[in-house]
């Protein structure tokens, strides 16, 4: 509970009040959590005390039954009466907090008319009854007759059951759905969710976002997929900048590892960083390696490591065991083993008796632990939870970078989402964690224009959270849009079912399984942004596989920016699921390895591409065979995306009128089928889609 206590000292106004209680939204982030902690402790303490004291009085005979009456001694009555007064006051406190908890969404109650007209008045009534129960319990201390407190506590219990469960259900049952919902609920929710989840202020129409025109130059666009690079490098992480990793469990399956091998020998740390050109391949389709990331045009077909000043990665994802290092290893930040007391303390902390032996750990040696970079960041900044760390080479050093997320259980006017197995109503990625792979130096930075909760922690812990200006210049271009946040943002626009996209290994063939519309990384431009950036694209598909929303998440000047494009009125809205089926037709009957479908926005619509690799038996590396693309009802194939772009441009822009007419015909067929089947809900949906497609306005007249 220390986090909730620390946030109470934050003095920050969000200048937006909830529409029911009129409290500033900062109250729900910085003050309500601590009040709930205190109330929970107080209630638990009083209940436990009352049960224990009551049981003890029964055991000694101070509370006993004689005939049909309960006999209680004067001292026991005074003691139990005081505890009942304390319990009633704790309930009073809880009922007073209930309206704020309802507004924050902590109890999962919808923000509607039932909340304002039933639940909040009931909470206020129950708080008054709790005070009456406290007064009756106080009188019982002096009056022997227990009829008054029994009656008041019975009334309070009955009113609580009726008010919390029966009355709201009955009130919702006697009202029509349109009478329950607030008329301005969507507008209010949009303002609060913009703060809670980083959603943009406005949505761009696809017709404005893609005005038409020439296609971009894709000669340097990505054709390699991460899973194929993983196979090519053999046991390397599936990224374009890949690193070797320690896997003690895999080594243990082949032979028994000794303590010296794991903690003092070759298995202390991994070494080996590889850079692969993601936009081209060799003449036979194999990866091209880059010895110096600062000179990406210099490539070789030989498997070549990147030269680093510190070759060993003492700190990396998944490294759990401690390491004993010598002065010759060149590690600056390590704890030196000194004296018997120091050895005892270290052996206790790391649960290893071998640290007491000078033969296993010579005097003058040092010990490194907390070497898993994600857990290291979270120990350094325990108020945040960090995402998947990715490697970055800056200068001659390797760094691990990860997004730091902050969340809150309650926030007014927002929908709840599930994140890492927890229900939250506030989630932002306003922090960046950096760990040096060679030294373990750890830093956490605040992004530009960060959210209120991240800024609050930065103000509370300025020694731990550095300002955005301190981000090293060589790392700025490698920061990524928060991937987990984009997944949540996509789900808020339209809930997406099913499991996320994944790559499954087959003994002979790698094949894509899962959702084709899984978010994907893309290095390039967009119709509204001519600067080449690392982007996180995500698509929300509607009925029939048509694109409903397109999300473009980028980092601009160390600031995460999300652009949401509405495709509901776009004439060519084919989504990746439908495009995957089209492209799969060309793959049928072959043993090729196909990568996932990626959707790339251009000024003339979405182009869906996938890379095709030569089929090969494991453990041989896959070789690029070519790239296939689907665009505006046309299919293309080429050696690179640059050649496909030239073919697309030669084909000319899509026939907007013809495509719009085909789309209108499909919606009319659905509308007519729904009319004949009596499915008026589907009829209305098709009618609305047809109306938007034709550009009609509401309530049009002949």
The per-residue pLDDT for 227 is 67
Average pLDDT over residues 348-376: 90
Using CA atoms, how far apart are residues 329 and 269, in angstroms rounded to an integer?
11
**Nearest in space to 580 (alpha carbons), one of 610, 548, 542, 624:** 610
Average pLDDT over residues 496-505: 35
SS3 245: coil
- 3-state DSSP: the chain helix, strand, coil percent, rounded to 5? 40, 20, 35
pLDDT reading at 123 higher than 90: yes
Strands (E), 155-247: 204-205, 241-243
436 alpha carbon, distance to own chain's centre = 24
Query: Which backbone phi and psi does 16 adopt, to 5 degrees?
Result: -150, 125
Q: Are 635 and 586 in contact (CB under 8 A)?
A: yes
DSSP category for residue 255? S
pLDDT reading at 620 higher than 50: yes
The per-residue pLDDT for 100 is 95
146 alpha carbon, distance to own chain's centre = 54
pLDDT reading at 162 higher than 80: yes
Distant-in-sequence, close-in-space partners of 89: CB < 8 Å, separation ≥ 6:
130, 134
The per-residue pLDDT for 700 is 39
The per-residue pLDDT for 653 is 64
Cβ of 205: how many Cβ atoms within 10 Å? 14
The per-residue pLDDT for 485 is 94
Summarised one tens digit per residue, pLDDT across range 241-261 is 889 888 878 888 888 888 888
Tokens of 543: 């009925």
SS3 588: coil
pLDDT reading at 37 higher than 90: yes
* Residue with more model confidence, 615 or 458: 458
pLDDT band at 237 (very low <50, low <70, confident <90, very high): very low
- What separation, in Å, do the N-terminal and C-terminal C-alpha atoms of the chain show? 65
Element (H, E) at 4: helix 2-7
Distant-in-sequence, close-in-space partners of 684: CB < 8 Å, separation ≥ 6:
none
16 alpha carbon, distance to own chain's centre = 25
The per-residue pLDDT for 299 is 87
CA angle at 533 for the pair 527 and 537, rounded to the nearest 5°: 65
223 alpha carbon, distance to own chain's centre = 27
Q: Name the burial class of residue 376, with classes exposed (0-12), middle (13-18) and buried (19+) by CB atoms within 10 angstroms of its CB.
A: buried
Average pLDDT over residues 568-581: 74
Cβ of 90: how many Cβ atoms within 10 Å? 21
Average pLDDT over residues 95-110: 92
Residues in the chain: 702
pTM above 0.75, yes or no: yes
The per-residue pLDDT for 573 is 64
CB contact burial 358-368 (16+ within 10 A = b; e otherwise): eebbeeebbbb
Query: Positive or negative, the Cα torsion across 107, 108, 114, 117?
Result: positive
SS3 9: coil
Q: Render 111-147 in DSSP notation, one character per residue.
A: SSHHIIIIIHHHHHHHHHHHHHHHHHHHHHHH----H
pLDDT reading at 460 higher than 80: yes
Summarised one tens digit per residue, pLDDT across range 138-150 is 999 888 778 888 9
Radius of gyration of the CA atoms of the chain, in A: 32
* pLDDT mean across residues, the chain: 83
Query: Which backbone phi and psi does 524 adopt, to 5 degrees?
Result: 170, -160
User: Is-cis flag, bond preceding 339, omega within 30?
Assistant: no
The per-residue pLDDT for 46 is 96
Using CA atoms, how far apart are residues 302 and 602, in angstroms rounded to an integer?
35
Summarised one tens digit per residue, pLDDT across range 321-345 is 999 988 878 787 788 888 889 899 9
């Amino acid at each position: 509970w220390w986090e909730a206590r620390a946030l109470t000292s934050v003095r920050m106004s969000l200048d937006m009040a909830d529409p029911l209680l009129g409290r500033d939204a900062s109250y729900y982030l910085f003050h309500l959590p601590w009040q709930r902690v205190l109330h929970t402790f107080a209630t638990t303490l009083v209940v436990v005390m009352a049960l224990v004291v009551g049981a003890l009085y029964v055991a000694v005979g101070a509370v006993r039954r004689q005939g049909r009456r309960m006999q209680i001694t004067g001292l026991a009555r005074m003691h139990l009466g005081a505890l009942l007064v304390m319990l009633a006051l704790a309930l009073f406190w809880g009922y007073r907090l209930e309206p704020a908890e309802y507004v924050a969404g902590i109890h999962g109650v919808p923000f509607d008319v039932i909340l304002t007209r039933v639940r909040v008045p009931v909470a206020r009534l129950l708080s008054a009854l709790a005070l009456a129960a406290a007064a009756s319990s106080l009188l019982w201390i002096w009056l022997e007759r227990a009829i008054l407190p029994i009656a008041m506590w019975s009334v309070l219990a009955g009113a609580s059951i009726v008010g919390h469960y029966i009355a709201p259900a009955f009130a919702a049952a006697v009202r029509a759905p349109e009478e329950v919902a607030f008329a301005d609920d969507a507008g209010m929710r949009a303002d609060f969710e913009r703060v809670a989840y980083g959603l943009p202020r406005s949505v761009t129409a696809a017709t404005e976002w893609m005005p038409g025109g020439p296609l971009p130059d894709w000669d340097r666009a990505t054709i390699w997929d991460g899973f194929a690079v993983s196979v090519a490098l053999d046991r390397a992480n599936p990224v374009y900048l890949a690193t070797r990793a320690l896997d003690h469990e895999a080594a243990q399956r082949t032979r028994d590892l000794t303590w010296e091998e794991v903690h003092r020998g070759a298995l202390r740390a991994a070494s080996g960083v590889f850079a692969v050109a993601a936009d081209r391949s060799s003449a036979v389709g194999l990866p091209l390696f880059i010895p110096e990331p600062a000179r990406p045009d210099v490539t070789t077909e030989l498997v070549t490591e990147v030269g680093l000043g510190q070759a060993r990665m003492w700190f990396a994802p998944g490294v759990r065991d401690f390491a004993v290092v010598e002065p010759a290893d060149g590690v600056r930040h390590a704890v030196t083993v000194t004296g018997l007391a120091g050895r005892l303390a270290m052996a206790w902390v790391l649960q290893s008796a071998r640290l007491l032996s000078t033969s296993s750990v010579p005097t003058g040696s040092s010990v490194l632990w907390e070497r898993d970079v994600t857990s290291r960041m979270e120990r350094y900044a325990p108020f945040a939870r960090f995402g998947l760390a990715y490697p970055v080479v800056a200068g001659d050093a390797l760094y691990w970078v990860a997004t730091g997320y902050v969340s809150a259980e309650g926030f007014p006017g927002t929908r709840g989402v599930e994140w890492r197995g927890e229900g939250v109503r506030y989630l932002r990625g306003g922090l960046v964690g950096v760990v040096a792979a060679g030294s373990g130096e750890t830093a956490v930075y605040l992004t530009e224009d960060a959210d209120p909760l991240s800024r609050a922690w930065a103000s509370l812990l300025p020694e731990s959270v550095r300002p955005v200006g301190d981000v090293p210049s060589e790392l700025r271009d490698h920061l990524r849009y928060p991937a987990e946040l984009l997944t949540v943002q996509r789900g808020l626009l339209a809930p997406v079912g099913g499991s996320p996209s994944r790559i499954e290994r087959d003994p002979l063939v790698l094949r894509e399984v899962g959702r084709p519309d899984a978010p994907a990384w893309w290095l390039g431009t967009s119709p509204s942004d001519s600067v080449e950036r690392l982007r996180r694209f995500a698509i929300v598909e509607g009925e029939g596989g048509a694109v409903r929303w397109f999300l473009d998440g980028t980092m601009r000047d160390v600031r995460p920016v999300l652009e949401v494009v509405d495709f509901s009125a776009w004439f060519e809205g084919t989504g990746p699921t439908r495009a995957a089926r089209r492209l799969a037709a060309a793959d049928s009957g072959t043993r090729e390895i196909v990568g996932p479908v990626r959707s790339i926005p251009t000024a003339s619509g979405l182009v869906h591409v996938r890379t095709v690799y030569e089929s090969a038996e494991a453990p041989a590396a896959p070789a690029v065979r070519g790239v296939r693309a689907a665009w505006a009802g046309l299919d293309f194939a080429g050696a690179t995306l640059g050649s496909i772009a030239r073919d697309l441009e030669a084909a000319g822009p899509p026939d907007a009128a013809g495509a719009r007419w085909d789309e209108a015909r499909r919606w009319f067929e659905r509308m007519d089928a729904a009319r004949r089947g009596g499915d008026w809900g589907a009829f209305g949906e098709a009618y609305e889609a047809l109306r938007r497609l034709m550009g009609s306005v509401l309530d049009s007249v002949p």
